[in-house]
C-alpha cells in the first residue's frame, strides 16, 4: 500500500511538472496552506472553548469559586504530556518558526502539527494567562512544512508557504486578512514582492473563509464605532503613545526577568509548583487575568468596567472610580507577570493576545484618568481601549503596521486611522530605540540566527558554517622534524597550509608552505629543525557554534587572511577559505533574491 501511494504521488508530481508552472503551483498550494492553517486555528479555538465551557458549567469548581486552582491542573496536564508523550522541550511558537526559517531551511517537526493543539487548549482552557495565536501559527506552519516536503518544494518556497500559513492562521482567528499579510511581512522579515504578495493574499483569504464557514459571522469584538477622531484629542493620543511605549518596555523586560528567575528552579516540577501557586494567587485577586481575556476587552469596549473586573476582594470599593482605575492599572501591570509565569511554569501559548489585553486596560485607564481629573476634557473610553491595544502590539512585537490594520479591521474602526498611527508609531519609536529586539527575536539575535529585512544580514544568517568548512588538511605535531613533516604531510597534501595540533588535537599553530620553502631543499636541516620552530599563530580563529556568519566575515576582513581555522570545544575542526565563503555567500544571495 505505501508503495502504491508513493507511485501515485510520483505520477502526480510528474504530471504537475509538465502541466502546471511553478508559480501557479505555489499559488494553489498557498490556498491549501491557508485552509489548513485556518482549520488548525478553528480547531484550537473550539477545543479551548470546549474546555472552558465544561469548567464554567460548574462540573468541577466554578460554583465553589475555586477557579484559581485550575491553572495548576492545566499546567500539570501539559507537564505530563510533554514528559511522557512529546518528550521534547516546548519552544516559543514564533521563535521556533523564525529559527526554522533562518537555520533549518524552513523544516519544522511534524510534532508541531498536533502538539500545540493539545498543550495550548490545556493551558488556556484551564485559565493560563496566555493566548492562542502563537500555537495556531505553529500548527499551521508545521502543516505547511509537511505539505511542502511532500510536494518536493525547495527551501525558499517552503519559507514563503510557512509565512502563508501564519497569514492564514491570523486571518482565521481575527478575521482580518490585511493585518494577517502585514504580520507575515513584519514579523517573518519576508522579502515583499508582487510574486510573494499574491500567495500571502490567497492564503489569507482562504484562512478567513475557513473561519466564516465554521464559525459564521461570530466576531471577537462585538463593537461598533460611534465616535471618530477629534483633533482636540491629539495630545491625549500622544500621551497614550508614550504610555504604551513605556508599557511595552516593561512587558518585554518583565518577560525575560521572570524567565531568568525561574531558571534558578532547575526541576520542571518546582517550576510547575511555584508557577501554579503564583498564577492562582494573582487570579484570586485579579480574576480578569484568567485565560486569554477577550471577554475582558469586550466588556471594556461596552463601557462595563465592573463586569470586566469581575468579582474581586475589592468589590465594596468599586463605586469609587479611582479604585476602578487602580484595579485596571493592576491588570496592566500583572498581565505581563501572569503571562510569563504561565510560560515559565511549563505552559504553552502566545504573547500576542495578552499584549492586546494589557493594551486595552492601559488605554481605558488613560481615558478614565483624562475624564476624571477635573480639567473638563472628555474622551471616548472605547476608542482609547482600542488604540491602547494597537500601541502595545506595536511596541511589544515591533510591528506598527500590523497593529494599525488589525485594530482597524477587527473593529471596523477605520475612522481611527489617524490616532492609531499616532499612538502606534510613538510606541514603536520609544520601544525600538530602547530595545533592539522583541520577545520573539532576542534569543535568536544572540545566536546570530535572526532574519531581518537587511538582505546582506539575512543572507549571512541563512548561510551554514558547516557547508564551508574544509577538512582535507594534513595536520602535523609540534615535535615533528622537518623531514617527518615533508614526508608525512607536504608530500601527501594538495594544500599549502598545515594545522599544528598537540596530542589532545588542540590547535597550537599553523605552518604555511611559503614559510618553509627556503628550508625544503636544505637536507642539513631536515633532522634539526622542528615544526614548532616553523609554525606561526593564526591571525584569527573561528569558534564553531559561537561565531555568527557575520562575525566570520568580519574576522576575514579584519585579519586579511585567506584561510582561518575553525575550533570546536577547544579542538581543531577544519579551515574556512575566503574564496569558498564568498562563493557560498553569492550562491545564497542569488537564491534569496530570485523570484519564487
| Domain 457-593, architecture per CATH | Roll (3.10)
Q: Which runs of consecutive H residues, i.e. helices, occur in 126-267? A: 133-150, 155-174, 177-187, 194-215, 234-262
- Residue keyed to cell 531558571: 263
Residues facing residue 577 across a β-bridge: 563
The predicted structure's pLDDT at residue 64: 46
- Say yes or no: do domains 231-453 and 457-593 share a fold: no
The per-residue pLDDT for 522 is 76
Q: In this structure, what DSSP letter does residue 85 have?
A: I
Specify the CATH superfamily of domain 2-215. Answer: Clc chloride channel (1.10.3080.10)
Long-range contacts of 464-469 (CB under 8 A, 24+ apart): 464/103, 465/542, 465/544, 465/547, 465/549, 465/552, 465/566, 465/576, 467/584, 468/576, 468/577, 468/580, 468/581, 468/584, 469/566, 469/573, 469/574, 469/575, 469/576
Q: Which three cell numbers stand for residue 360?
A: 486595552
Buried b / exposed e over 554-585, threshold 16 CB at 10 Å, is ebbeeeebebbbbbeeeebbbbbbbeebeebb
Copy the grid coordinates of residue 161: 508557504
Question: Residue 76 has which C-alpha cell?
Answer: 500539570
CB 124 within 8 A of CB 342: no
Of the candidates 80, 55, 83, 57, the one whose C-alpha atom is nearest the C-alpha of residue 69 is 55
Those residues whose C-beta lies under 8 Å from the C-beta of residue 386, and which sit 6 or more positions away, are: 223, 301, 360, 363, 407, 411, 413, 416, 420
Q: Give the distance, in angstroms, between the CA of residue 385 and the centroid of all CA atoms in the same chain.
A: 26
pLDDT per residue as tens, the chain (596 positions): 455 556 888 888 888 888 888 888 999 999 999 999 999 999 999 999 999 888 877 544 444 456 678 889 999 999 999 989 988 888 888 888 888 887 788 889 899 999 999 999 999 999 889 999 999 999 999 999 999 999 888 888 888 999 999 999 999 998 889 999 999 888 887 766 667 789 999 999 999 999 888 877 666 666 667 677 778 889 999 999 999 999 999 999 999 999 999 989 888 889 999 999 999 889 888 888 888 888 899 889 888 888 888 877 787 888 889 999 999 999 999 999 999 999 999 999 999 999 999 999 999 999 999 999 877 788 889 899 999 999 999 999 999 999 999 998 887 767 888 999 999 999 999 999 999 888 888 887 777 766 666 666 767 777 788 888 888 888 888 888 888 888 888 888 888 888 989 888 899 888 888 878 777 777 777 788 888 888 888 889 999 888 888 888 888 888 888 889 999 888 899 998 888 888 888 877 777 666 55
Q: How, if at all, do strands 542-543 and 563-568 pair?
A: parallel
What is the pLDDT at residue 334?
94
Spell out the alpha helix ranges (H) of 316-416. Answer: 321-344, 352-372, 381-397, 400-411
User: Rounded to 5 degrees, what are φ and ψ at 286?
Assistant: -130, 80
For residue 226, give the DSSP letter. Answer: -
pLDDT number for residue 147: 92
- Taken in order 7, 9, 13, 19, the sign of the CA dihedral is positive
Tell me the whole-structure pTM to 2 decimals: 0.81
Rounded CA-CA distance 197/480 in Å is 62
| pLDDT on residue 463 | 79
**d(C-alpha 326, C-alpha 523), whole Å:** 90
Neighbours of 139 (CB within 10 A): 28
Q: Is 69 exposed, middle or buried (0-12, 13-18, 19+ CB in 10 A)?
A: middle
Residue 533 cell numbers, joined: 620552530
Domain boundaries, the chain: 2-215, 231-453, 457-593
DSSP H stretches of helix in 474-593: 482-488, 513-516, 531-534, 549-559, 578-593
- Give phi and psi for 91, each to the nearest 5: -100, 155
Which CATH number fits the domain 231-453, given the four candidates 1.20.120.1200, 1.10.3080.10, 3.40.190.10, 3.30.300.30?
Answer: 1.10.3080.10
> How far apart, in Å, are the Cα atoms of 32 and each of 27, 28, 103, 164?
9, 7, 25, 10
**Closest among 267, 239, 302, 29 to 148, alpha carbons compared:** 29
Amino acid at each position: 500500500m505505501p508503495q502504491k501511494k508513493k507511485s501515485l504521488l510520483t505520477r502526480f508530481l510528474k504530471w504537475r511538472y509538465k502541466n502546471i508552472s511553478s508559480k501557479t503551483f505555489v499559488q494553489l498550494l498557498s490556498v491549501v496552506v491557508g485552509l489548513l492553517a485556518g482549520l488548525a486555528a478553528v480547531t484550537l479555538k473550539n477545543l479551548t472553548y470546549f474546555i472552558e465551557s465544561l469548567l464554567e458549567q460548574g462540573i468541577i469548581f466554578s460554583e465553589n469559586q475555586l477557579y484559581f486552582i485550575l491553572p495548576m491542573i492545566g499546567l500539570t496536564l501539559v507537564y505530563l504530556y510533554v514528559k511522557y508523550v512529546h518528550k521534547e522541550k516546548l519552544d516559543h511558537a514564533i521563535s521556533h518558526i523564525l529559527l526554522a526559517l533562518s537555520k533549518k531551511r524552513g523544516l519544522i517537526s511534524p510534532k508541531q502539527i498536533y502538539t500545540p493543539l493539545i498543550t495550548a487548549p490545556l493551558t488556556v482552557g484551564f485559565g493560563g494567562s496566555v493566548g492562542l495565536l502563537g500555537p495556531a501559527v505553529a500548527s499551521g506552519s508545521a502543516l505547511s512544512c509537511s505539505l511542502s516536503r511532500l510536494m518536493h518544494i525547495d527551501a525558499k518556497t517552503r519559507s514563503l508557504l510557512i509565512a502563508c500559513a501564519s497569514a492564514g492562521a491570523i486571518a482565521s482567528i481575527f478575521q482580518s486578512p490585511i493585518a494577517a499579510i502585514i504580520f507575515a511581512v513584519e514579523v517573518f522579515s519576508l522579502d515583499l514582492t508582487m510574486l510573494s504578495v499574491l500567495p500571502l493574499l490567497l492564503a489569507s483569504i482562504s484562512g478567513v473563509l475557513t473561519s466564516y464557514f465554521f464559525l459564521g459571522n461570530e466576531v471577537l469584538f462585538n463593537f461598533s464605532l460611534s465616535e471618530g477622531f477629534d483633533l482636540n484629542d491629539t495630545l491625549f493620543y500622544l500621551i497614550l503613545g508614550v504610555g504604551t511605549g513605556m508599557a511595552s518596555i516593561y512587558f518585554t523586560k518583565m518577560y525575560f526577568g521572570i524567565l531568568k528567575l525561574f531558571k534558578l528552579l532547575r526541576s520542571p516540577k518546582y517550576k510547575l509548583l511555584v508557577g501554579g501557586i503564583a498564577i492562582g494567587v494573582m487570579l484570586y485577586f485579579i480574576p480578569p487575568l484568567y485565560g486569554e481575556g477577550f471577554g475582558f476587552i469586550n466588556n471594556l469596549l461596552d463601557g462595563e468596567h465592573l463586569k470586566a473586573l469581575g468579582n474581586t476582594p475589592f468589590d465594596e470599593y468599586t463605586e469609587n472610580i479611582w479604585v476602578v482605575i487602580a484595579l485596571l492599572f493592576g491588570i496592566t501591570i500583572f498581565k505581563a507577570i501572569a503571562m510569563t509565569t504561565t510560560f515559565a511554569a511549563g505552559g504553552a501559548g502566545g504573547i500576542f493576545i495578552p499584549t492586546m489585553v494589557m493594551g486595552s486596560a492601559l488605554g481605558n485607564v488613560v481615558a478614565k484618568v483624562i475624564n476624571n481629573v477635573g480639567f473638563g476634557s472628555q474622551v471616548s473610553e472605547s476608542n482609547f481601549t482600542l488604540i491602547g491595544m494597537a500601541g502595545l502590539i506595536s511596541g511589544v512585537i515591533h510591528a506598527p503596521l500590523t497593529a494599525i490594520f488589525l485594530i482597524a479591521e477587527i473593529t471596523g474602526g477605520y475612522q481611527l486611522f489617524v490616532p492609531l498611527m499616532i499612538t502606534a508609531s510613538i510606541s514603536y519609536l520609544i520601544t525600538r530605540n530602547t530595545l533592539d529586539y522583541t520577545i520573539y527575536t532576542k534569543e535568536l539575535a544572540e545566536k546570530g540566527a535572526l532574519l531581518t529585512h537587511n538582505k546582506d544580514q539575512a543572507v549571512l544568517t541563512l548561510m551554514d558554517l558547516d557547508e564551508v568548512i574544509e577538512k582535507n588538511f594534513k595536520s602535523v605535531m609540534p615535535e615533528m622534524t622537518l623531514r617527518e613533516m615533508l614526508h608525512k604531510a607536504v608530500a601527501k597534501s594538495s594544500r599549502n597550509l598545515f594545522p599544528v595540533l598537540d596530542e589532545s588535537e588542540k590547535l597550537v599553530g599553523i605552518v604555511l608552505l611559503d614559510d618553509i620553502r627556503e628550508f625544503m631543499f636544505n637536507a642539513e636541516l631536515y633532522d634539526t629543525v622542528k615544526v614548532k620552530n616553523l609554525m606561526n599563530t593564526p591571525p584569527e580563529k573561528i569558534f564553531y557554534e559561537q561565531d555568527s556568519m557575520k562575525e566570520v566575515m568580519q574576522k576575514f576582513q579584519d585579519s586579511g587572511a585567506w584561510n582561518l581555522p575553525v575550533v570546536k570545544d577547544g579542538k581543531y575542526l577544519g579551515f574556512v577559505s575566503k574564496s569558498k565563503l564568498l562563493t557560498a555567500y553569492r550562491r545564497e544571495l542569488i537564491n534569496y533574491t530570485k523570484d519564487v
